[in-house]
Structure 1
Amino acid sequence: MRSPAPNRRALLKACLLAAAPLALAGTTPGAAQGQGSLAMKIRISFGDRDLAATLEDNPSARDFATLLPLRDLSIDDYANNEKISYLPRRLTEDGSGPFGDERPGDLCYYAPWGNLAFFYAGYRWSRGLIRLGRIDGGFEPLRTRGKFPLRIEPLS
C-alpha cells in the first residue's frame, strides 16, 4: 500500500489539530461561542489567582490546546505591559499574521521566543505575535508583580 501523498498527510494533520480542542471540551463545531473563538475555555492559575480565558479558533490555539494541562510552568513580568511564560515546545505558526483589536486581556504566542504573552496593558501587534485567546472578565491579577508557578488547564 502506498503512503498518502504529502498534501494528504498535511490535510489529515490539520483535521486532527482542528478536532483536538473540541474533543477536550466535549463540544461540537456548532457550539462555538462566537466567531473566531472555540468553545474551549481554559483556567490560568498562578499564585493564589485564577483567570478564565476563551481560546481563538486558529491553528496555533488548537495546537496550544493539545498541550493542556500544563502544570510545570512559571509566569514572570516583562516590559511593564505583559507577563510571559515559556512553553515546553514551539507551537505551529500556520495562519499567523496581523490581527487588529489588540487590547489588555489578550493571550498571545510570541513565535520568535516560543513564549506565551499575557497582556495587561496596551500593546500593538508585531511580527511573530499570534493571538491564542482572551481573558474572560477582569485581567487585573496579571498586574501583580513577581514570578509565580503557573498552571493552565481546560475548564470542564
Structure 2
Amino acid sequence: MRKSNVTKIKMTFDNSEVTAELSNNPTSQDFISMLPLTLDFKDYSGTEKIANPPRKLSTKSAPAGCTPQKGDITLYAPWGNLAIFYNDFCYASGLVPMGHICTGLKELSKLNNTEVKIEVIE
C-alpha cells in the first residue's frame, strides 16, 4: 500500500516476516517494479545482509554515497547488490539509500545463505 512517498514491502523467510518502507526515488521504484521476487541473502562483514537482484538497478539522481544506519536498505551501486544494514556503518561512496526496515530487523540479522521472498504489501 502506498502512503505519501513510501511503498510498504514484506520479506518472508524461515517462518519470519520483516516489513519495510521503500522511498520514492528512482532506485527504489526500479526495484519495486521487479516485485515479487525471491533473492538469496548472505551476511557481509558482520554488518549487512546482501543479495543480487536479477539486473542492475537505476541510479538516476542518486547521491554520491551515504552513511547507513541500522535498518537501512541500500543499493551498493559499484557491485549492483542490495545491502540491508543490521549495524551502523561509516560513509560509503556508491551506497544509494532505498528505504528502512520497520519490523523484524533482529530476525533479518540472523539469516545467512537464505532465500527471502520480497513483495509489495497491498
TM-score under structure 1 length normalisation: 0.72
Other structure's SS at 2:49 match:
strand
Instruction: Return the offset for 1:138.
Output: 4.3
Which deviations, in whole Å up to 9, do the C-alpha atoms of 1:31-89 show, x marking residues without a partner? 41xxxx42x10001222221000011211011111011102x21111100111111000
Whether contact under 8 Å (1:85, 1:116) holds in the other structure is yes
Larger fraction in helix:
1
Number of matched pairs = 121
Distance 1:145 1:139 in 2: 10
Cα-Cα RMSD: 1.6
Gaps of 5+ in 1: 1-24
Q: Please list, as runs of the form range in 1=range in 2, the aligned pairs for 1:1-156 lying within 5 A after superposition.
A: 25=1, 27=2, 31-32=3-4, 37-38=5-6, 40-71=7-38, 73-97=39-63, 98-99=65-66, 102-156=68-122
Instruction: Return the offset for 1:147.
Output: 1.2
Instruction: Return the offset for 1:112.
Output: 1.1
Gaps of 5+ in 2: none
Whether contact under 8 Å (1:60, 1:94) holds in the other structure is yes
Distance 1:152 1:92 in 2: 18
Question: Residue type of the partner of 1:52?
Answer: T
Other structure's SS at 2:119 match:
strand
Distance 1:84 1:47 in 2: 17
Larger fraction in strand:
2
Choose 137-146 or 110-119, whichever is displaced more: 137-146
Percent identical residues: 34
Distance 1:54 1:90 in 2: 20
Other structure's SS at 1:61 match:
helix
Instruction: Return the offset for 1:128.
Output: 1.2
Moved over 2 A (4+): none
Distance 1:47 1:54 in 2: 21
Distance 1:64 1:124 in 2: 24
